[in-house]
Chain A
């Protein structure tokens, strides 16, 4: 029987080798497995790290902090808490065990957990391990100005929409708010209550960051881009004359001006500046037809359309603005595929984010140069050393300074005596542009206001977008923009 036993042992040995080989295979697949959402391994290991704080622009107010929990076996876990709750939920995001991470908590995870390959961080973490003390993450100082942020959140409350405030000369994001919001403290413990949030839009989608990923039709705010193309190409000047019959003929059909539909009582003879001031569709429609869709789109790209704004949020949370077809970004190969008239006044399948329109306003405010938007000021090690500073960088050069100055002057008129009157602030000249975009359903308008102030020396540029509105941009969005501007400029109403 011995040969059989020997053979048996051989087979058994092979089987055991197969076991080791299988275990090795999973080791080799470890990076794939680690990336899977349901894998608690990496997340739990990172719970043992004292995660860095996320702070407001003042460098003191914590937006994300830690809660220590002592386990039965003596280990300490650091769980996340968000002292400001709903206020900064979308920009800061959340870091949980059960529902992974979002926002800066996700995109800056390496810094927050001190996993970044930076010499001083590596030395620190190695020393910590040798001393047996928990690893400490790096703190993130954001650019968020809590006064402006609060003004934005309060203004948006009760609506579905978003607001973004930027510093035009640096690209710093002063406020980034989306409504409805949610309490990130409840994501882990009571997700049902977040799913139960309701708002005057369907779905309420409180987790969606409408400021960077909300899909809005820009409406008349896009006229700033068209006007930029009209002026910068030298085709028109602010004084160029137009005849407004109250409608524009597109493919043999009449498209009427907003607010007087069906009653073609036009403004008569007007200049380009008048058209911006009173947001006259027919004028822009004719400009669009004259310039062609390709030129208008080219200027949109110069402001950042068709490119993902390089903000520090996870790229999947930042939507690219542009023409969309069947839910996908679409860059027409030939200008004839696009209706230039409707494009010129911001309809025609355009999908934009509030962040992108804030960048348009900021570009005009900054003499035609769009600065890279950034949400992070600096990253500080536990010892207080600045590990990384995020400097201002130019992102796009949209138009000549002279064009920007002309656009600015026209936008000032729109607030002083045009559709944006609700954004007037005594003592400060505000430049702005309203927008009321039709989505094809009654009472479902997207209303807008983009602005910057003070017009002579801009310190803040904002975009406010609301969905599911019955009113106009001037009535609904402009007051919110004004409140944000006042807060950002340090004025309290």
Chain B
């Protein structure tokens, strides 16, 4: 409603897609644990409230450009929070949570993702000329001065990875960074160099951190230790494969042990796609993937129609962040890429994740409203 009044020209697909995915998420979570589903419902309400507030009060999103450095620093601050003593919480080998007492346990990384994209959109818009053409005279390589930020971000991503053991998060940030860099500069060399650096860094970390080794080994040969390190992946594959084409039907899947616990730990968060693939089958799973693809299509469309660089980069970055996040976790649970623990946007259980994704959606819609209005004016 607020949307219709405030943003009459916003993209008509994006919000329903978010809503549909949230509803699917709540349904699946209800299957696993009704109480969690109720809490997730509350989080969606909070998310929608934040969404409405943003739509109502964010007069011109381009003002965000002015505070991009503040946002950039906040993003890093948010990422570092869980590593701090007292309030930091480590769950399942990753230090991603901040505990402020009581129910206030949250994952600051989710919100940092949005801040990070806004910062990059602003920064890259300012520097894209230099990054793209500044190095033209000295062969193909940009000067150290222009490589600086790239190296800085790379170092940052690796540091975050090292500090928090959050493989999925690091992969997501770095990929989003590369994607936005590519969109801004159209230079493959940056992407290639970035990728090479990431692989080198990842390889180095693989040597040093046992947690990373476990994940990669478990992915390469899940059947080596089906009861051990690859238990989650193996159980996830069992679930996916038993779903068949149309699934067992909602409520008929084999998700819980006789004791009432899920067979797959973190089923309601990281592995929600396994539950969907089982109960709704390949058709349902592919449907969810297609929903993300449509989301990506509409998001990129907003970006392509936008006139100014900041809007373009912002829309493309937000869309890419969501789509890549979906790819990383779905790819993980079906064994396409090594398993990393991040949430499936809108669907997975988790307050910070839901709220952050609604913030992302709000920004995207605000951009799209302006874009479409401008187009018609």
| Chain B residues positioned under 8 Å from A44 (CB to CB) | 254
> Does A326 sit within 8 A of B, measured CB to CB?
no
Q: Does A390 contact B (CB under 8 A)?
A: no
Q: Is B320 a contact partner of A33 (Cβ separation < 8 A)?
A: no
Whether B327 lies near A16 (C-beta < 8 A) is yes
Give the chain A neighbours of B226 by CB distance below 8 A.
36, 38
Residues of A within 8 A of B282 (CB): 20, 23-24, 27
- CB contact between B300 and one of A5, A16, A22, A41 (< 8 Å): that residue: A5
CB distance from B335 to the nearest CB of A (A): 7
In the bound assembly, the distance between CA atoms of A5 and B317 in angstroms comes to: 10
| A33 engages B242 (CB within 8 Å) | yes
Point out the residue from B179, B227, B309 that lies within 8 Å of A38, measured CB to CB: B227
Task: Please determine whether B254 and A23 come into contact, CB atoms closer than 8 angstroms.
Answer: no
Interface residue? B289 (CB, 8 A)? yes
Report Cα–Cα, A34/B184, bound state, in Å.
48
Instruction: Indicate whether A253 reaches chain B with its CB closer than 8 angstroms.
Output: no
Residues of A within 8 A of B235 (CB): 40
Minimum CB distance partner of B251 in chain A: A73
Q: Does A428 contact B (CB under 8 A)?
A: no
Q: Give chain B residues whose Cβ lies under 8 Å from the Cβ of A45.
A: 248, 254
Contacts of B234 in A (CB 8 A): 38
The residues of B that contact A2 with a CB separation of less than 8 Å are: 304
Within 8 A of B (CB), among A1-40: 1-6, 8-9, 12-13, 15-16, 18-20, 22-24, 26-27, 29-30, 33-34, 36, 38-40
Given contacts A1-B309, A20-B286, A22-B335, contact A33 B304 (CB under 8 A): no
| Complex Cα–Cα for A79 and B258 (A) | 10
How far apart are the CA atoms of A254 and B99 in the complex, in Å? Answer: 86
B161 cross-chain contacts in A, Cβ below 8 A: none
In the bound assembly, the distance between CA atoms of A20 and B276 in angstroms comes to 13
Contact B304 A26, beta carbon cutoff 8 Å: no
Tell me if A69 and B293 are in contact (CB < 8 A).
no
Tell me the bound Cα distance from A5 to B304 in angstroms.
Answer: 7
Q: How far is the CA of A337 from the CA of B311 in the complex (A)?
A: 88
Question: CA separation between A26 and B251, bound complex, in Å?
Answer: 21
- Bound-complex Cα distance A453 to B303 (A): 93
Q: Is the CB of A27 within 8 A of B244?
A: yes
**Which residues of the partner chain B approach A71 to less than 8 Å between Cβ atoms?**
256, 260
The residue of chain A having its C-beta at the shortest distance from the C-beta of B285 within the complex is A23
Find chain B residues with CB under 8 A from A30 CB: 241-242, 244
Per-position 1/0 for A38-73, Cβ under 8 A of B = 111110110100000000000000000000010111
* CB of A97 within 8 Å of the partner chain: yes
Q: Are A3 and B186 in contact (CB under 8 A)?
A: yes
B241, A29: Cβ atoms closer than 8 Å: yes
Asked if residues B327 and A41 are in contact (CB atoms below 8 Å), the reply is no
Q: Are A26 and B303 within 8 A (Cβ)?
A: no
| Range of interface residues on A (Cβ < 8 Å) | 35 or more
CB closest chain-A residue, reference B260: A72
* Chain A residues whose C-beta falls within 8 Å of the C-beta of B296 in the assembled complex: 9, 12-13
Q: Collect the chain B residues with CB atoms within 8 Å of residue A247's CB.
A: none
Asked whether, in the complex, the Cβ of A97 is within 8 Å of the Cβ of B244, the reply is no
A216 an interface residue at 8 Å Cβ cutoff? no
Q: Is the CB of A23 within 8 A of B242?
A: no
The smallest C-beta distance from A66 to any residue of chain B, in angstroms, reads 14
Do A5 and B243 touch across chains, with their CB atoms under 8 A apart?
no
Chain B residue with the shortest CB-CB distance to A97: B258
Q: Contacts A5-B304, A5-B316 given: A69-B258 contact, CB under 8 Å? A: yes
**Residues of B241-265 contacting chain A, CB below 8 A:** 241-245, 248, 251, 254, 256-258, 260, 263
B182 touches A34 (CB 8 A): no
Q: Which of A16, A22, A39 contacts B238 (CB 8 A)?
A: A39
- Give the most central of A3, A15, A77: most B CB within 10 Å: A15
Contact A22 B251 (CB under 8 A): no
B113 within 8 A of A: no
Contact code string B320-339 (vs A, CB < 8 Å = 1, else 0)? 10011001001100111000
Chain B residue nearest to A73 in the complex (CB) = B251
Q: Which residues of B contact A8 (CB under 8 A)?
A: 179, 182-183, 300, 316, 320
Bound: A417/B151 CA distance, A = 99
Question: B267-293: contact bitstring with A at CB < 8 Å (1 yes, 0 no)?
Answer: 000000000010000100110011011
B165 at the interface (CB under 8 A from A): no
- Contact yes or no, A33 B297, CB < 8 A: no
List the B side residues contacting A6 at CB < 8 Å. 300, 304
CA of A27 to CA of B238, assembled, Å: 9
Give the residues in chain A near B334, CB-CB below 8 Å: 19, 22-23, 26
Given the interface pairs A9-B297, A26-B334, A73-B251, the reply to whether A19 lies near B238 with Cβ below 8 Å is: no
Smallest CB gap from A39: residue in B = B238
Query: Closest residue of chain A to B330, judged by CB?
Result: A19
CB distance from A408 to the nearest CB of B (A): 54
* Chain A residues, CB < 8 A from B245: 27
Return the chain B residue nearest A47 by Cβ: B258
Contacts of B248 in A (CB 8 A): 45
Q: Judging by beta carbons under 8 Å apart, are B277 and A15 in contact?
A: no
Query: CA A358 – CA B128 in complex, angstroms?
Result: 89
- Those of A68-88 within 8 Å (CB) of chain B: 69, 71-73, 77, 79
Q: How far is the CA of A18 from the CA of B240 in the complex (A)?
A: 15
Q: Which residues of B contact A40 (CB under 8 A)?
A: 235, 238, 254, 257, 263
A residues less than 8 Å from B15 (CB atoms)? none
B179: chain A residues at CB < 8 Å are: 8
Contacts of A16 in B (CB 8 A): 289-290, 292-293, 327
CB neighbours (8 Å) of B324 from chain A are 12
User: Nearest B residue to A33 by beta-carbon distance?
Assistant: B241
Instruction: Find out whether the CB atom of A4 lies under 8 angstroms from the CB atom of B183.
Output: yes
Residue from the list B242, B292, B335 in contact with A41, Cβ < 8 A: B242
Pair A19/B300 contact, Cβ less than 8 Å? no
A1 lies within 8 A of B320 (CB)? no
1/0 contact trace for B157-187 toward A, CB 8 Å? 0000000000000000000000100111010
Beta-carbon contact of B289 and A19 below 8 Å: yes
In the complex, what residues of A have CB within 8 A of residue B260's CB? 71-72
Contacts of A5 in B (CB 8 A): 183, 300, 303-304, 312, 316
Q: Min CB distance, B247 to chain A, in Å?
A: 11
> Closest B-chain residue to A48, C-beta based?
B252
The one of A23, A29, A39, A41 in contact with B286, judged by C-beta atoms closer than 8 angstroms, is A23
Closest to A46 in B: B254
In chain A, positions 97-137 with a C-beta closer than 8 Å to chain B are 97
Most B CB contacts (10 A, CB to CB) among A1, A27, A34 go to A1
CB-CB < 8 A to B309: which residues of A? 1
Q: Are A19 and B244 interface neighbours, CB within 8 A?
A: no
B202 contacts partner chain A, Cβ-Cβ < 8 Å: no
For residue A351, give the distance in angstroms from its CB to the closest CB of chain B.
34
In angstroms, Cα B235 to Cα A36, docked, is 11
* A73 CB contacts on chain B under 8 angstroms: 251
Q: Is the Cβ of A1 less than 8 Å from the Cβ of B312?
A: yes
Give Cα distance in the complex from A477 to B285, angstroms: 63
Residues of A within 8 Å of B330, CB to CB, are 19
B293 CB contact (under 8 Å) in A3, A13, A26, A42: A13
**Which residues of the other chain, A, contact B243 by a CB distance below 8 angstroms?**
27
Chain A hits for B313, CB < 8 A: 1
| Residues of A close to B135: CB separation below 8 A | none
Q: How far is B324's CA from A281's CA once the two chains are assembled, in angstroms?
A: 81
Tell me whether B342 is interfacial, beta carbon within 8 Å: no
Question: Can you identify 13 A-B contacts, CB atoms within 8 angstroms?
Answer: A1-B313, A5-B312, A8-B300, A8-B320, A20-B289, A26-B237, A26-B335, A30-B244, A38-B226, A38-B227, A40-B238, A40-B254, A97-B257
Closest 10 pairs between A and B when the two form their complex, measured CB to CB: A41-B242, A30-B241, A44-B254, A26-B241, A22-B334, A22-B336, A4-B183, A33-B241, A39-B238, A20-B286
Q: A15-B327, A38-B234 are in contact. List 7 more A-B contacts (CB 8 A).
A: A5-B304, A6-B304, A12-B293, A12-B323, A22-B331, A27-B245, A45-B254
